[in-house]
Amino acid sequence: MRNTWRKILALTLCAACVLSFPAFAVEFTDVDGHWAESYITQAADRQLIQGYGGLYSPDDNMTRSQLATILWRACGSPEPKGAAEFTDLTQDWYKKPVAWAQENGVMNGTGEGKFSPEGTVTREQLATVLYRLAGSPMDAMLFTQFYDADYPDSGAVSSFAKQAVYWCIYRQVYCGESSLNVGKTLDPLEPASRGQIAVMIVRYLDRNH
């Protein structure tokens, strides 16, 4: 029954995710030559990620509330059924995205009734969120025996995130810390930068819909 529910949820979310985007010419003054430049431009043109006064700050960390907002926009900015059940949501701009993420099981709280909207997102957490958005495909378990031996820091991946990280690798969504290719290490516990998040979310949308 749980697997059936996950499949239904995945189909619902995928159907809601935006498959075509209006073209907007977005230019940032601090991404020229950056390794993630093309994906940053695509994410901005699709109105998923915004900058700050002409800057994108590609190497800065992204907060949990920002990630929830990006995913919400990617799925068409749907109206949540109710308010989020967290006690620390102080800004109106992210209340609907967080409520939507909670309702759909895409992002959970951090304990004690809190969402920690200003908290950072690690690379393995980003992979986990995208994996949940895809419906937590069960075939991800098959990748463990192959990828464990491929990456020397595979043991650093948290148990809750291993299937998600390996699924993102298999689907060619995962990227390196400063390169489009994964590279030799996974760096799962490092904060996900705004550049990395642009790469992985655009790849996810392009390769799963």
Residue 197 has pLDDT above 70, yes or no: yes
Q: What is the pLDDT of residues 33-43, one digit of tens each?
A: 999 999 999 99
Whether 113 is in a domain gets the answer: no
Whether 112 is in a domain gets the answer: no
Whether 91 is in a domain gets the answer: no
Whether 82 is in a domain gets the answer: no
Whether 83 is in a domain gets the answer: no
Residue 44 has pLDDT above 50, yes or no: yes
Task: Give the whole-angstrom CA distance, residue 107 versus residue 130.
Answer: 10
Residue 4 banded pLDDT, cuts 50, 70, 90: very low
Task: Give the whole-angstrom CA distance, residue 71 versus residue 121.
Answer: 13
Whether 96 is in a domain gets the answer: no
Signed CA dihedral, 106, 141, 200, 76: sign only: negative
Whether 77 is in a domain gets the answer: no
Q: What is the pLDDT of residues 10-33, one digit of tens each?
A: 434 544 454 444 444 467 999 999
CA-to-CA dists, residue 205 to 56, 131, 173, angstroms: 21, 12, 9
Task: Give the whole-angstrom CA distance, residue 149 versus residue 59.
Answer: 29
Strands (E), the chain: none
> Residue 25 burial by CB count (10 A; 0-12/13-18/19+): exposed, middle or buried?
exposed
Residue 176 has pLDDT above 70, yes or no: yes
Q: Which domain holds residue 188?
A: 2-62+120-207
Tally of domains within the chain? 1
Q: What percent of the chain stands above pLDDT 70?
A: 86
Q: Which residues of 116-133 are buried (b: 16+ CB within 10 A; e: fewer)?
A: ebebbbbbbbbbbbbbbb
Whether 76 is in a domain gets the answer: no
Task: Give the whole-angstrom CA distance, residue 196 versus residue 183.
Answer: 14
Task: Give the whole-angstrom CA distance, residue 130 versus residue 12.
Answer: 15
Q: What is the pLDDT of residues 69-113, one digit of tens each?
A: 999 999 999 999 999 999 999 999 999 999 999 999 999 999 999
Pick from 38, 85, 14, 19: nearest CA to 195? 38
Please name the amino acid found at residue 69.
Answer: T
